[in-house]
Structure 1
Amino acid sequence: MDILKILIVDDETNIRKTLAYCLAAEGHTVVAVSNPADAMEESRRLVFDMAFLDLKLGEESGMDLIPALLADSPWIKIVVITAFASIESVVEAMRRGATDYLSKPFSPDQVKLAAGRIARIRELEIQIAALKENMQRLGPEDRLQSANVGMQRVMELARKAAPSDAIVLLQGESGTGKTVFARAIHAWSSRAAKPMAVVACPAIPSELLESELFGHAKGAFTGAMRDNPGRIAACEGGTLFLDEVGDLAPGVQAKLLRFIQDKEYERLGESASRKADVRIIAATNVDLQKRVAEGRFREDLFYRLNVISLTVPPLRSRPEDILPLAMDFLAYFGRANRKRILGFTDEAQLALASHPWPGNVRELRNAVERGVILSCGEMIGRADLPDSVVPADTAPKIGDPVPLAAIEELHIRRVLAASASLQAAADALGIDQATLWRRRKAYGI
């Protein structure tokens, strides 16, 4: 059973102690208070999964606390407890948003059963949210696989870093698969059963990004018609992935630094500090050290983010992965478009292998999708690929008045594309791997 963060709100000391002892014995984190004011203060300070709420709190009504708790944390599951249970009160509590109820007196087994039921509900909600997101972005690029030694080294480091709570900074060109790495690190970690929130920093206007991350109170600014818990609260216990973190506005950088250091933050329109247990993974396609030198990125935030740095290599530096990835995309888009396409013609394979892929894996994905859609036969040809991948044939040929190095580079590219491994390519070229490595470095392959 998952460990829950549980809030107990009851004005009877013995009930609070009994509930707290029973739930803590099951491993749950428990906070117990006696009145609505303290309940809301704790709700703003911590992120709770569940609340046991007495409907009669001295002179105050617990019924009015239900919508307030839900406005603060929409995912919270509230179990009302009362010694004056009636059909009317239960119906009203459910109407206001309660999940379950217990009549006093209740036994420890009933409490454990209620907590266990809520734990399963929360687990299923997180799984369903993850499945929905997976369905929306489903594609073969989400599988981490590579025949390239450099890429394999990055994958190994990612696996080693995953079980810790250390911040991971993913660097690399756009389209190399940094988001795929972030999801893999989350899946390999002990936080895998908890939510992962993805925030694409450039996609959200800077004036709204702070609200998106940290949340806001109703009325905090024009258009804030309701409370927003924010992405940090929504992925409590899980992972927050900040994509293109180099684009954060200075004000948001300062708030993020404080959250990383103290695990505390404030929602817009509130003065009360909140706490959250969230692991940070960040990604960037820019040189953050250069931005620090230019005064566009906080130096202290850079060092906080740069705990474990992984650089994802561009596709052009791992040519042995181009055709396997293209075949994966081909199979995926063939099924998606109900087409039976067996592969690429030799000319198309050479075009794929010779292209530098400035857009990396994302560009390759788009090129293959286009080829599948336009292809009329069982093989994708050069004509089915984008013009950017297959420009006018200006490749040097034997006998052309070009430097010998141009012929050598083209030959090495084509042999690499047709070989299953670097060793196989070196054997075909009649050179050792060290010489091939030097040639690749010289030609930027």
Structure 2
Amino acid sequence: MKVLIVDDEANIHKTTSIALRAMGHQAFSAYSGSQAIRKLEENKVDVIFLDLRLGPENGLEVYDKIRSEGFEMPIIIFTAFSSISTAIEATKKGVFDYVLKPFVPEQIRQALDRVGKNLSLESKVEELKTEVSESAPPALFESQDKSMQAIYRLTERAAPSDATVLILGPSGTGKTVLAKRIHSLSKRSKNPFVVVHCPSLSKELLESELFGHVKGAFTGAVKDTWGKIEAADGGTLFLDEIGDLPLEIQAKLLRFLQERQYERVGETKTRTGNVRIIAATNKDLQKDAQDGRFREDLFYRLNVISVVMPPLAERPHDIKGLAQAFLQHHARRQGRGDACTFSDSALAAILSYSWPGNIRELHNLIERCLILCDGGTIELDDLPMEVRSQSADGRSSRSHITIGGHFTLEEVEEAHINGVLNSTDNYQDAAEILGINKTTLYRKRKRNPELETADT
């Protein structure tokens, strides 16, 4: 951890710093409240040791000042035995812990162990909140497909190292899930897994998101902000859809991969980052590098260990298992228990369908079908038209919808909207792809029962 020592005695700084470094921590020193604030503005700190009697200053007033400036890290009070009652009052006020002077290194170790456990619990809570908010489907790492078995073996061997991993493959094939799996099997698993979605922001905001910025660096930069590299310190930084990373930022990322050094936007101070990089893209990065759309040197830096996720259509033996796992997952979420199932004809149609949206499309489709079906069995008629039309049992009354075929505009529109809905995460993304606003999409959904479903 990065520890700030705030004390007016030089000997305390020396002995505490030696003890902290021996334990593998990094120590910073401040001799006054104002100096402490400056140190906090310059460096990301995990915990503070604060003297209760800081020369002419009152340690609790310094504590209040630190909190008023927006710094929320745990603060441990240094106090003499004579002021222990004040220290107890300080803990009621929000101080994390206190250490009696004179102290020995073991007391420092125990205090930091308590901080570490607390931070670990907070991290787990945040991960659980994220999983709940994303309604994450179960992650399955067993496969009947030989190519997937080879991918799982490769990633399990690579996970304990710090090697950069590049995950390639079409959208919806489970690249993010695999990245989380690699992190969970690594020696960094107790530290953060932080995601940067490269296409989601402008070049300027993406640079700040990645590296951080200082106050005044650009319009709207009202305070110093730490980027995702600092947030992932000790853990894994996942760069999703890295093929969309602007060329200007590619140069800075290359430098970070080579030297582990970077600067926040608007700052000249060079910092170091201790993160493992995992990147993913649905693009052909090698071709983009040859065509000048992606830096060739960055591609080779990223391509230390490379895996290619196959489309779901190339994993036919896995479709049934995935479909049943998603069905049970959503049945439990909807309070239907474990009795939900597929009819034989519905399952046959699911196994026959080509799944252009891959695992994401399968997951979304089953969630929608379970919401709309009567009872606990998903029937053939509960499936969207484009899935029914590819059913191998011949029970569909319609041929596969094709452009130029003998279909009404309503049938074509229904099939196209269904396909887009099933291959995206939410209605906003679907509306943008369709070129209509979200309200219009909702109206079409209400007008056509085939599209009626819950917003995901």
| TM-score, length of structure 2 as denominator length | 0.76
2:207 and 2:223 map into 1 onto residues whose CA distance is 16
Match of 2:231 in 1: 234
1:109 and 1:42 map into 2 onto residues whose CA distance is 26
1:241-256 equivalent positions in 2, closer than 5 A: 241-256=238-253
Match of 2:310 in 1: 313
| 1:368 counterpart = 2:345 | no
The CA deviation string for residues 181-230 of structure 1, in whole angstroms up to 9 with x for no partner, is 00000100011111111111112233311111111222222222222212
Amino acid in structure 2 at the alignment position of 1:313: P
The CA deviation string for residues 93-120 of structure 1, in whole angstroms up to 9 with x for no partner, is 997x753344543344432332222121
| 1:349 counterpart = 2:344 | no
User: Bigger relative contact order, structure 1 or 2, given CA contacts below 8 A and separation 6+?
Assistant: 1
Residue aligned with 1:142, SS: coil
Residue aligned with 1:76, SS: coil
Distance 1:61-1:378 versus aligned 2 partners, 3 A rule = closer
Residue aligned with 1:81, SS: strand
Match of 2:142 in 1: 145
Match of 1:289 in 2: 286
1:3-402 equivalent positions in 2, closer than 5 A: 4-25=1-22, 27-35=23-31, 47-54=44-51, 74=71, 76-81=73-78, 99-339=96-336, 342-391=340-389
Amino acid in structure 2 at the alignment position of 1:316: A
1:259 and 1:72 map into 2 onto residues whose CA distance is 30
Identity among equivalent pairs (%) = 46
Tell me if structure 1 keeps the 8 A contact 2:75–2:97: yes
Amino acid in structure 1 at the alignment position of 2:190: A
The CA deviation string for residues 297-335 of structure 1, in whole angstroms up to 9 with x for no partner, is 111111111111011111111100111111111111222
- Following superposition, the deviation at residue 137 of structure 1 comes to 3.0
Aligned residues: 392
1:362 and 1:158 map into 2 onto residues whose CA distance is 21
Match of 1:437 in 2: none
1:370 and 1:69 map into 2 onto residues whose CA distance is 49
- Following superposition, the deviation at residue 22 of structure 1 comes to 3.2
Residue aligned with 2:371, SS: helix
2:307 and 2:347 map into 1 onto residues whose CA distance is 30
- Following superposition, the deviation at residue 365 of structure 1 comes to 0.8
The CA deviation string for residues 215-266 of structure 1, in whole angstroms up to 9 with x for no partner, is 1222222222222212111121011111101111122212211211121211
Distance 1:292-1:155 versus aligned 2 partners, 3 A rule = same
Amino acid in structure 2 at the alignment position of 1:383: D
Amino acid in structure 1 at the alignment position of 2:375: G
Distance 1:294-1:68 versus aligned 2 partners, 3 A rule = farther
1:28 and 1:244 map into 2 onto residues whose CA distance is 35
Tell me if structure 2 keeps the 8 A contact 1:139–1:332: no
Residue aligned with 1:175, SS: coil
- Following superposition, the deviation at residue 52 of structure 1 comes to 1.9
2:65 and 2:318 map into 1 onto residues whose CA distance is 53
Residue aligned with 1:111, SS: helix
Which is worse superposed, 114-123 or 5-14? 5-14
Residue aligned with 2:219, SS: coil
The CA deviation string for residues 10-44 of structure 1, in whole angstroms up to 9 with x for no partner, is 3433212321333344x231324354698678767
Distance 1:273-1:64 versus aligned 2 partners, 3 A rule = farther
Tell me if structure 2 keeps the 8 A contact 1:45–1:275: no
Amino acid in structure 1 at the alignment position of 2:297: D
Residue aligned with 1:389, SS: helix
Which is worse superposed, 271-280 or 180-189? 271-280
Distance 1:156-1:75 versus aligned 2 partners, 3 A rule = farther
- Unaligned runs of at least 5 residues, structure 1: 398-445
Residue aligned with 2:238, SS: strand
| TM-score, length of structure 1 as denominator length | 0.78
- Unaligned runs of at least 5 residues, structure 2: 396-456
- Following superposition, the deviation at residue 68 of structure 1 comes to 8.5
Residue aligned with 2:322, SS: helix
2:63 and 2:178 map into 1 onto residues whose CA distance is 39
1:62 and 1:241 map into 2 onto residues whose CA distance is 40
